[in-house]
Chain A
């Protein structure tokens, strides 16, 4: 096992403030009625109770980021020609994400497989990932909407974390999971916690053992694939969806994006922003043709991506981590668990159905 350190719980704000001198610290903070991972502000503290309303995915894929800036120029030729200069802007800010939950950290590995895929590396993502330390707080009280254990995770799952943080009475025990976490932890002026490691482990084991049993959703890929062209199923599922995108934006694994240019006179920026695959415009083509023509088609793609396409491409790993944010915050109470459960037992209508 790697390095282990501890701190008294009430010493956390001072420690985050100290860390904040050399890196951006993103930690959950209550703002109005919701909790989000915001830059740590000593005067506002942290809110580590339960699961934050929004995931910390913006640490790696910001809501809105500048990929490059451009400027049109005039050359010295006579007559002058229009020149063009483009400069890429690669992020280099070190970050500590503190207080992610195991589902959030597992979500980062879902992103890793797509953005850091061997020869195909998204340098914006990779630059952030390399400089981000993820310190994950093991869960103690799963919410009604939590279902991490049904999709391969768990309240103590260290996948995607650099450091696991366990609450032990009045202390936080910090244990390194990755070399990046180890290096970070060794820089900190915190006392050694090796003597507490076994107790922290027992604590996490107890929470895992107490998790309610639930049907595994890991077998979903084949079942969802079998329903590709079963449009009555998707019609029924999609009927009440408003396509508002709350689920996409709160989801720790939704990573679809848009790229747009924002000109200001003869210069400007090319930006990448979060997008929502449930939006009609998402796939709308210039000609007016839309390959995902109806909400049912878009729902099929959304559920299909998480429970069939992604796992097919990535060794069976679902692109759902069971955080339940999409369930807790859906304005019309859609529940991805029951959608997938329905797919698992769905009997196709006997009559041949076409969906052209």
Chain B
């Protein structure tokens, strides 16, 4: 056994699930705390950084920490049920033990974004990383210009963070537009694909950053829409998700050319991605 357990890149912090929120039929949010109070107190991260959640006996997978560092009572991860690990995670309840390897990767360029207008474009579970940055900016509201959010999902019941949407919609210091691919009779917001609604919203590109996350196909067309609105590649920020194992830039799964999404990402500008092989 090692003398310095903290030095093992693969050894997770032991953590306890404090709360589980059913966001949508297939997305659950887990609020966890590290079991060692000192580790929890000393835990520091920046918006956009990710963590690997371990269910021992099944494996590990990567999720963004979607609570902001300005609200440190717990670490929040939202998990869409897709594969083996996420299916097992969805069965866990309050009090269950998991492993957390975090923080991993880089973060949003919150300093460079200061004073700029911010346009968030999130699709489905891609809203999770944007939530971190959005809440961070709302907690430091004076540092940023206009904030607008376009959040889309397949249907109204697929919208995660529904309990926060009324606040975001009513706030005077941000603009929120919601859209779904398939509406229902009581849906009071937009119906349409994210890139099309984004073009209607037409946020000005001047002095702005766009931050987008969602399925690869949505990101692709959102970037096209942003280009049409005059956004330059340097003004478009995205955060990627890849299959990962080590989380520390070794195992060779998540790299796009020289860049390891787990370590050099997950946050990239589109200008950076254009320099790499096309492997989104």
Contact = CB atoms under 8 A, between A and B. Distances in A.
A243 interface: no
Contact of A84 (B14, B245, B246): B14
Nearest to B5: A88
A313 B258 contact: yes
B40 interface: no
B151 to A, nearest CB: 19
Nearest to A70: B56
Contacts, number: 134
Interface residues of B, number: 49
Secondary structure dominating the interface of B: loop
B58 interface: yes
Interface stretch (A35-43, A137-145, A205-213, A276-284): A276-284
Given A228-B257, A255-B250, A86 B1 contact: no
Interface in B50-108: 56-61, 82-86, 95-97, 99
Interface stretch (B127-135, B162-170, B172-180, B272-280): B272-280
A282 to B, nearest CB: 6
A86 B58 contact: no
A300 B1 contact: no
A284 B245 CA distance: 12
Contacts of B14: 84, 86
A198 to B, nearest CB: 42
A270 B84 CA distance: 16
Interface string A239-258: 00000000000000001111
Contacts of B255: 301, 305, 309
A86 B12 contact: yes
B65 to A, nearest CB: 19
A115 interface: yes
B252 A84 contact: no
B7 A84 contact: no
A128 to B, nearest CB: 13
21 contacts: A70-B57, A72-B97, A81-B95, A82-B95, A82-B96, A86-B99, A88-B10, A115-B250, A255-B252, A257-B245, A259-B10, A270-B10, A272-B10, A277-B252, A283-B254, A285-B241, A286-B82, A286-B84, A289-B215, A355-B278, A356-B278
6 shortest interchain CB distances as A-B pairs: A286-B83, A256-B252, A84-B97, A286-B82, A263-B57, A70-B56
Interface of B: 1-2, 5, 7-12, 14, 56-61, 82-86, 95-97, 99, 215-216, 220, 241-243, 245-246, 248-258, 276-280
